[in-house]
Amino acid sequence: MKQLAKELNLLPLRLKKDTAASAQPVAAANTPGETLNKEELRLLVKILKAIGHTCEHPNIRIQNGITSYTLNQITLIFDGVNKTDEHNVLHLSSLKQMLEDPAEKRPTWEKLKSIQFDA
């Protein structure tokens, strides 16, 4: 390996100690409880696509295990379809619930169909 690097005139790279310390908070911020797993993200993308929108990652927020998505003037909160909605806040079944019990998708879909979204 060293011989190949020498023949290609490549310089060996070494990590600085400062970069290892600064990378640690990033890993802590991405704890499993505060990120969507692959299936949850896929379901969110499908839900948004079904109502004519493209999923944009900066609009996804996860706080205390509750996923919310900002869609124009409306915030979709995936924490329970039976919670009371407000003017700009729409409560839907949690993504995890919908994956575990497909029957949870129906009330979420019915609620989404009843709302007019600005394109």
118: region left, alpha or beta (phi > 0 left; psi from -120 to 50 alpha): beta
Confidence of residue 16 (pLDDT cuts 50, 70, 90): low
State residue 17's pLDDT score: 63
Cα–Cα dist 41/18, whole Å: 33
Give the helix/strand (H/E) hosting 48: helix 38-50
State residue 24's pLDDT score: 41
Q: Which amino acid is at 4?
A: L
Which of 11-20, 61-70, 76-85 shows the lowest per-residue confidence on average (mean pLDDT)? 11-20
Q: What pairing do the DSSP bridges indicate for beta strands 74-78 and 60-63?
A: unpaired
Residue 19 confidence (pLDDT) above 50: no
Condensed to tens digits (0 to 9), the pLDDT of residues 78-104 reads 999 899 888 889 999 999 999 999 999
Find tokens 């005139």 and name the residue.
Answer: 9
Q: Locate 1 and state its tokens.
A: 């390996």
High-pLDDT (> 90) share of the chain, %: 44
Cα–Cα dist 77/92, whole Å: 6
Condensed to tens digits (0 to 9), the pLDDT of residues 23-62 reads 444 333 334 557 888 999 999 999 999 888 899 999 999 9
